[in-house]
Amino acid sequence: MAAVVGDTCEGSDDVDVGQALPQTVAPVLASQSPCQACGACCAHSAEWPRFTLEDDADVARLPAALVDEKHWRMLSVADRCAALAGEVGVATSCTVYENRPVVCRDCQPGDDACTMAREGRGMAPLPPAIEPAMT
């Protein structure tokens, strides 16, 4: 669910990416979720995360600069969700955590999607369901 970089996706040509991209991330503590030292699933594809069960009100709670409304998903920059802060595999956080998409809430450390995303970034798989997703 919750982590890394490429081209501006279609339908976002008018977005000021320099303003949209988060610039900072809190240091990772050993007691925190493994997601905070990962972020692989947030930088897995230019087409992810998509909105699924969200309605207009849900999407309106997200910063407009981070939404690709045309494709009904989060804006992606270089295959990385624009809401992702930090460096994948080092220290990451979701800057819209409280309002993150349903698919992000569903992705859990150690599940199949997590394993695929981490393998794509050369990271070892995690054991299933050891901690809640990125906080």
Total Cβ atoms within 10 A of residue 131? 17
Within 21-125, where are the H helices? 56-60, 102-106, 112-120
92: left (phi over 0), alpha (psi -120 to 50) or beta: beta
Q: Is residue 100 close enough to count as binding ligand SF4 by CB under 6 A?
A: yes
Q: Is residue 25 close enough to count as binding ligand SF4 by CB under 6 A?
A: no
Q: Is residue 104 close enough to count as binding ligand SF4 by CB under 6 A?
A: yes
Q: Is residue 114 close enough to count as binding ligand SF4 by CB under 6 A?
A: yes
Interaction residues for ligand SF4, span 35-54 (CB under 6 A): 35, 38-42, 49
Q: Do residues 8 and 17 lie in contact, with contact meaning Cβ atoms separated by under 8 Å?
A: yes
Task: Tell me the window of 6-14, 24-32, 51-59, 111-119 that interacts with ligand SF4 (CB under 6 A).
Answer: 111-119
Closest alpha carbon to 117 in 101, 133, 102: 133
Q: Which residues bind ligand SF4 (CB under 6 A)?
A: 1-3, 34-35, 38-42, 49, 74, 81, 83-84, 94, 96, 100-101, 104, 107, 109, 114, 117-118, 126, 133-134
